[in-house]
Amino acid sequence: MKNTLLTLLIAILSAGASATSISDVWVSDLGNGQFKNPVIYADYSDPDVCKVGDAYIMTASSFNCVPGLPLLRSYDLVNWELIGYALNKLQPEDHFALPQHGGGVWAPSIRYNNKKLYIYWGDPDFGIYMISASQVEGPWSEPILVKAGKGLIDPSPLWDSNGKAYLSFALAGSRAGLKSVLLVAEMHPEGTHLLSDARIVFDGHKEHETIEGTKFYKRNGYYYILAPAGGVATGWQVALRAKNPFGPFEIKTVMHQGSTHINGPHQGGWVHTDAGEDWFLHFQDVGVVGRIVHLNPVKWIEDWPVMGNAPKDSFTGVPLRTADKPKVVRTVDVVTPPENDEFTAAQMGVQWQWHANPSHTYAYYNPLDGGWLRLYSVPKPDAYVSLWSIPNLYLQKLPAPVFTATTKLRFEPNTGIQGERAGFVLMGRSYAMISIEQTSAGLVVSQIACERADRGGKETVHASEPLNQNDLYIRMRFTNGEKAQFSYSLDGTEFVDFGPDFQALEGQWIGAKMGFFCSREEKTNDAGWLDVDWIRITP
């Protein structure tokens, strides 16, 4: 890898070029007509899905990560390709210039209506937003604030056959001071604003505490609100139905954990296929890796959607570990969201996100000379305590409970300053990394951990050695869905374990993520940089 810089400015993708790939560490398609859950073993929280032609389009919560609102496409609900993002930057832009952990995009709904795609989401601090596009590749519109207010979350639109439109949503107790209620309001048919005050249509305080995550549908003359209750890790899925969009609603629990190991099971979206089948995509919270995506069949019993596997004459199913794949009308290739990156493209790979709205100074790509990504060092924020507070973390989701990530780096610090450092990090509420730092004695490679960074924890150096070259290979072995062991190599062949095993923690409402950073202490007029040659994920 050469140091010639081709000045290609990073383009945050509105719906970027897709990267067809097959994971070496998790594939749901069993190749025999069946699939295993999860269909995606990665953090796509609060998934929702709609059908466009013969394709299914999924989006998910992205919280403070940018670009936001991932867009995934499938032709069989099992094999999912990550094709880009719908949201370039979080709004208001200045507010999200630094990480707002747990803020941003909550629980989106995606719908296709009148030849147009719509995505609605709640930002718990600002209100309910909407964007639209004529095709999934975009361009997507700028966000419209449909309803301002603190604590408004989990919106879902419904366009009725009589020309009217409605919006269901819920409340976040952390901002609104009230939770466990579901609301419905009439909405302008163009989907841009509400026409009526919202009515509380269901109160779950007695039997369905923490009910939220609304998904609004109509079928066979009934209006349905699908919603999870009971909490993310311990809850169940309910269905409400009524003959009027404002109720009164009947309610049944239609899926719970039962005796399975699939806890939750939490919110998601229902879809009806061309083959006449019904399926429900939802998530399971597995802790460090995050909220992974499951697929379960739906059968209708007396106009109630029973999900998963249910005993005879029961309205409550349990999630399946394996099942027959959905019937399809076309040949479908095995595909998974991308994990590896050789950095040969001139733009951001679709698996990568920043931890806040990025600046144009953070990163550039050179697709020549074998391809590489250059991250320039960014001054630490004024209130810096740890990496928890910096925006220029360039990260991707963890792809499986067991995997090995290996990367080749080259650090070129600004030799006129000290305290500039870069490296590879496993980021969460606690984090660990291998860093390379410019010191008065030269380059130093260190294994560093920070316990409970979200509570102000400070970094601890567990191992440190002089480094007599700028190139370094870093490896992280991730096991048991929660443990990481770091090692490094000077030649890419012989790796030396470095520092103790690390007990990872998830982020705020997101799974732990892995990737790169480059920062400095001083606010100077020039920066050093980290060149990333490649990253490869193996078993």
Backbone angles phi, psi at 352, to 5 degrees: -95, 145
Residue 3: band (very low, low, confident or very high) from pLDDT cuts 50, 70, 90: very low
Q: 203 near 212, Cβ under 8 Å?
A: no
Which DSSP string do the residues of 102-118 spell out, in sequence order? T-SBEEEEEEEETTEEE
DSSP string covering 238-275 = EEEEESSTT-PPEEEEEE--TTSS------EEEEE-TT
Write down the pLDDT at residue 11: 35
DSSP state, residue 383: T
The pLDDT of residue 16 is above 60: no
Q: Amino acid identity of 453?
A: A
Mean pLDDT of all residues belonging to the chain: 94
Please state the rounded mean pLDDT for residues 170-183: 97
Counting residues of the chain whose pLDDT is more than 90, the rounded percentage is: 91
Instruction: Output the pLDDT for position 2.
Output: 35
* pTM attached to this predicted model: 0.95
**CB under 8 Å to 427, separation ≥6 — which residues?**
355, 387, 393, 395, 507, 512, 513, 514, 515
CA R_g for the chain? 23
The enclosing H or E element of 175 equals helix 173-176
In this predicted structure, what is the pLDDT of residue 246?
98
Q: Residue 85 and residue 81: Cα distance in Å, rounded?
A: 12
- What are 168's two structure tokens? 């269901």
State the pLDDT confidence band at 456, using cuts at 50, 70 and 90. very high
Residues 6 or more apart whose CB falls under 8 angstroms from that of 65 comprise: 104, 353, 354, 355, 395, 510
pLDDT per position as a tens digit, 377-407: 999 998 899 999 999 999 999 999 999 999 9
The per-residue pLDDT for range 49-107, each reduced to its tens digit, is 999 999 999 999 999 999 999 999 999 999 999 999 999 999 999 999 999 999 999 99
pLDDT tens figures, 404-451: 999 999 999 998 788 899 999 999 999 999 999 999 999 999 999 999
Tell me what the mean pLDDT of segment 461-485 comes to. 98
**What number is the average pLDDT over the span 305-319?**
96
Neighbours of 12 (CB within 10 A): 19
Q: How far apart are CA 512 and CA 439, in angstroms?
A: 29
Q: What is the pLDDT of residue 415?
A: 82
pLDDT (0 to 100) of residue 359: 96
**Predicted confidence (pLDDT) at residue 1 exceeds the cutoff of 70:** no
Residue 10: predicted pLDDT: 31
Q: Cβ distance 425 to 514 under 8 Å?
A: yes
Q: Is 46 a catalytic residue?
A: yes
pLDDT at 317: 98
N-term to C-term CA, the chain: 26
Show Cβ contacts of residue 26 under 8 Å, excluding neighbours closer than 6 positions: 41, 42, 336, 399, 400
How confident is residue 18, by pLDDT bands cut at 50, 70 and 90?
very low
pLDDT at 523: 84
pLDDT in tens, 107-156: 999 999 999 999 999 999 999 999 999 999 999 999 999 999 999 999 99
72 C-beta neighbours (distance < 10 Å), count? 23
Is the predicted pLDDT of residue 370 greater than 60, yes or no?
Answer: yes
- What is the model's pLDDT at position 329? 79
Q: What is the mean pLDDT of residues 179-184?
A: 98
Handedness of CA 52, 146, 249, 203 (dihedral sign): positive
Domains of the chain: 27-324 (2.115.10.20), 363-538 (2.60.120.200)
Q: How confident is the model at residue 15 (pLDDT cuts 50, 70, 90)?
A: very low
pLDDT above 70: percentage of residues in the chain: 96
501 is catalytic: no
pLDDT of 313 above 90: no
**Which DSSP letter does residue 388 get?**
G
pLDDT at 14: 34
| Marked catalytic residue, from 48, 76, 212, 533 | 212
Tell me what pLDDT residue 413 has: 95
> Residue 161 — pLDDT band, cuts 50, 70, 90?
very high
Distance between CA 127 and CA 322 in Å, rounded? 39
Instruction: Answer whether 47's CB lies under 8 Å from 226's CB.
Output: no
**pLDDT tens per residue across span 205-238:** 999 999 999 999 999 999 999 999 999 999 999 9
CA nearest to 187, candidates 241, 240, 147, 144: 147
Between strands 378-379 and 513-520, the pairing is parallel
116: left (phi over 0), alpha (psi -120 to 50) or beta: beta
Contact in structure between 247 and 225 (CB atoms under 8 Å) = no
Please work out, in degrees rounded to the nearest 5, the angle formed at the alpha carbon of residue 237 by the alpha carbons of 36 and 230.
115
In this prediction, residue 524 carries a pLDDT of: 84
Please pick, among 46, 48, 459, 506, the residue that the annotation labels catalytic. Answer: 46
| Helix count and strand count (H, E) for the chain | 1, 38
